[in-house]
Amino acid sequence: MMQLRNTKKLSRYGVERILIRGTNWIGDAVITLAAISAVRETYPQARIFVLAKPWVADIYRLCPYVDEVIVYENSCAHHGISGIFRLAKELKAMNFGVAILLQNAIEAAIIARLAGIPVRAGYNTDARGFLLTHAVVRTKAVKKIHQTGYYVKMLKALGCEEGQKGPYLSLADEDRQKAGCLLQDYGMDEDRPIIGMAPGATYGPAKKWFPERFAVLADRLKEEFSAQIILFGSEGDRGTTAAVQRKAVHPLIDLAGVTDLRTAVSLIARCCLFISNDSGLMHVAGGLNVPTIAIFGSTNPLTTSPIGDKNTIIYRGVDCSPCLKETCPTDFRCMDLISTDEVYRAAKRVLCGM
């Protein structure tokens, strides 16, 4: 079993307030929730705060192991050097005893140091080891494992207990009610299958299966299972979801850029199946333990597959993959080899097993 070298363990005693610096992207945030669970398991009486950027704050708010989220407003109140000092001053007034830095950047360590937090723990990445009181050496081996384990290994090296296996995202009653009202507004029948699709991806087109294949798949699922299809994504995905809608024979519900993140999470929780490229919303579906079909092209499912135990990974490990490039420099065969029939068969197995 892989062990990480670490010189000091975190104290188990006298820790009342813990600040966790969260990661900056939706998928990464979901991946870190198991590590936050480990912190909660180790410090059941402590108050756990997460410092997070605005666009991922709701992921941490929905985590049952987090007491409070502090929003890092780097585009306004905390912008620039003066904003960093302002944020550090705000954090200092909150009297944290321990900072656990899940984000790998040196900035996270600088803010924790400026905030006067006496115990500062995290990986010794981005030349920040001298700013940490408890630096964990990041080895080549730990970079090759699933990213959930990447963060959990750091916490275990610091002496934390194994966390809970879930749930990692927990919806409030008002979230469920809002989702139900939206489904009614769009004329959806909850007695028929509701399938979510996320045909976009933030990190370039090399992560995107073809819109025309999503469209053919959606039509087939509607025709053969009377499925109701919701297209999910951010404002930046609207071009992709519009392309899927144009190429589909049957009408789809396109919510890309329409809902906020929390509402999107609540709607995904109502889906009986979620079909997605490697994206943040794929990780949300996994975190909710919604059956998920994850389509991988340029990225590596060994390190970034969705969490949960109801996932089907579709991936063609061709000789150039995973290339981790934004745009395919050759013939995009890693995605071209994934047929609509293959994804349909995976979806049919889920739907027939309901």
Neighbours of 187 (CB within 10 A): 8
One DSSP character per residue, 221-262 reads: HHHHH--EEEE---GGGHHHHHHHHHH-SS--EE-TTTS-HH
Q: What number is the average pLDDT over the span 331-348?
A: 96
Q: What number is the average pLDDT over the span 9-26?
A: 96
Neighbours of 177 (CB within 10 A): 12
Say yes or no to pLDDT of 270 above 60.
Answer: yes
Say yes or no to pLDDT of 126 above 90.
Answer: yes
Say yes or no to pLDDT of 162 above 60.
Answer: yes
> In 3D, which of 199, 195, 202, 200 has the Cα closest to residue 223?
195
Say yes or no to pLDDT of 344 above 80.
Answer: yes
pLDDT at residue 204, rounded to an integer: 81
At 185, which amino acid appears?
D
Q: What number is the average pLDDT over the span 304-313?
A: 94
Structure token pair of residue 173: 């009653």
**Four-point Cα dihedral 283, 288, 294, 300, nearest 10:** 40
Q: If you ran DSSP here, which 8-state letter would residue 267 be given?
A: H
Say yes or no to pLDDT of 3 above 80.
Answer: no
Say yes or no to pLDDT of 4 above 90.
Answer: no
Q: What number is the average pLDDT over the span 75-99?
A: 95
Q: Name the fold adopted by 174-352.
A: Rossmann fold (3.40.50)
Burial (CB < 10 A; 0-12, 13-18, 19+), residue 318, is middle
**Peptide bond connecting 167 to the previous residue in cis, omega within 30 degrees of 0:** yes
pLDDT at residue 5, rounded to an integer: 61
Say yes or no to pLDDT of 7 above 70.
Answer: no
Q: What number is the average pLDDT over the span 26-53?
A: 97
pLDDT at residue 74, rounded to an integer: 84
Q: What number is the average pLDDT over the span 338-346?
A: 98
pLDDT tens column, 208-242: 999 999 999 999 999 999 999 999 999 999 999 99
Structure confidence at residue 2 as a pLDDT band (50, 70, 90): low
Structure token pair of residue 165: 């296996």
- CA–CA separation, 160 vs 35, rounded Å? 9
- The lowest-confidence range among 76-80, 133-137, 244-248, 270-274 is 76-80
CATH 3.40.50.2000 segments of the chain: 17-157, 174-352
Say whether domain 17-157 belongs to CATH 3.40.50.2000. Answer: yes
- Please state, rounded to an integer, the average pLDDT across all residues of the chain: 95
pLDDT at residue 353, rounded to an integer: 84
Q: What number is the average pLDDT over the span 282-294?
A: 97
Residue 233: left (phi > 0), alpha (psi -120 to 50), or beta? Answer: left
Say yes or no to pLDDT of 1 above 90.
Answer: no
